[in-house]
Amino acid sequence: MKDETIVISLGGSLIIPNQIDVGFLKEFKKLILSYVEKGKKFIIITGGGKTARIYIDAIKNITNPSTEDLDWIGIASTRLNAEILRVAFGEFAHSEIIMDPDLIPVTGKPIIFGAGWKPGNSSDLAAIHSAISVKAKKIINLSNTDYVYDSDPKINPNAKKIEKISWAEYRELIPKEWNPGLNSPFDPIASKIAEEEGLEVVIMNGKPIDNLANYLEGKEFLGTVIF
């Protein structure tokens, strides 16, 4: 990926699938720091995962929250996940998580963490805007799924994996509208902006961590390229 800053959208499903996955976070830290040693810089945007869904489900059982209220709860969850990553990376991370991906701080630290930004989308949009801010043309989206499929593999056992797909084709597969807690490989709002900006997004499973290493090394990897 040459000398450009590497932008990663780190799914909450990897950070906290049920409980915080300490083993994965240790492996992720080790890999990222191995590239920091090679002079690479990263912006890592975290998702909400189970934390967001627990809080969203809870408030729905207490009252009738607005969609915007649910989004803010989800955003707070993503920021909590970003904080644990920021602290985990210690001296290598910028001292504060970014709240606005259009305003990337100038820092001597090689890693900047961010999270959800504003209502109406997921943390994927923050990753897109971060990439635009630093003029990166590619984004790595790490989740707990291997590929984009032509239908939901959890429902359809015959769902076919897709290794390469255009934004126009991809957007036909996913919901048109955003709603809090939407489970989509890359959210529809972020996808629309990515298409307009000519960005490439790679959807891949963060486990095993070697899959990410293969991609960063330009080797064969398992995942879907959306272009």
Of 178, 168, 169, 167, residue with least CA distance to 201: 167
Domain ranges of the chain: 6-226
Judged against a pLDDT cut of 80, whether residue 3 lies above it is answered with: no
Judged against a pLDDT cut of 60, whether residue 123 lies above it is answered with: yes
Judged against a pLDDT cut of 90, whether residue 181 lies above it is answered with: no
Judged against a pLDDT cut of 90, whether residue 88 lies above it is answered with: yes
Q: How confident is the model at residue 167 (pLDDT cuts 50, 70, 90)?
A: very high
Considering the domain delimited by 6-226, tell me its CATH architecture: 3-Layer(aba) Sandwich (3.40)
CB of 114 within 8 A of CB of 82? yes
Judged against a pLDDT cut of 80, whether residue 150 lies above it is answered with: yes
pLDDT score at 160: 97
The model carries a pTM of 0.95
